[in-house]
Amino acid sequence: MKKIFLLCSAGMSTSLLVNKMKEAAKSQGYEYDIAATSLANLKDIKDEADVILLGPQVRFDKERVEEEVKNIPVDVVDMTAYGMMDGKKVLDQARKLLGEL
């Protein structure tokens, strides 16, 4: 099962978005392990992740995260989708990074 991580400052602001993404995945018949955590936990999760999405508030760390995780796709969550808590749109963003769309 593919593992999608959303990272933000504390892992709390992305928790609601994770729930919305899980709902979208279930309604579309996809199975993903989706979780939110703090950017500070990157070292703990990088070996598990298939894709990493950063909350807009930590977008300035994208280059550092990419350097640390090497071959794992990393992107910043679309700011509009984040603000609207659009789980489907963010799930589609992760699926594109996984090469599924």
For the annotated catalytic residues, the residue numbers are: 8
- How sure is the predictor about 11, in pLDDT bands with cuts at 50, 70 and 90? low
52 is written with which tokens?
């990493």
Contacts of 44 (CB under 8 A, 6+ apart): 37
DSSP characters over 56-75:
GGGGGGHHHHHHHHTTS-EE
Domain that holds residue 65: 2-97
What is the CATH classification number for the domain harbouring 46?
3.40.50.2300
Domain total of the chain: 1
Each residue's pLDDT tens digit, 53-71 = 999 999 999 999 999 999 9
Each residue's pLDDT tens digit, 17-54 = 999 999 999 999 999 999 999 999 999 999 999 999 99
- Half-sphere exposure in the Cβ direction for 73 (13 Å, CA): 15
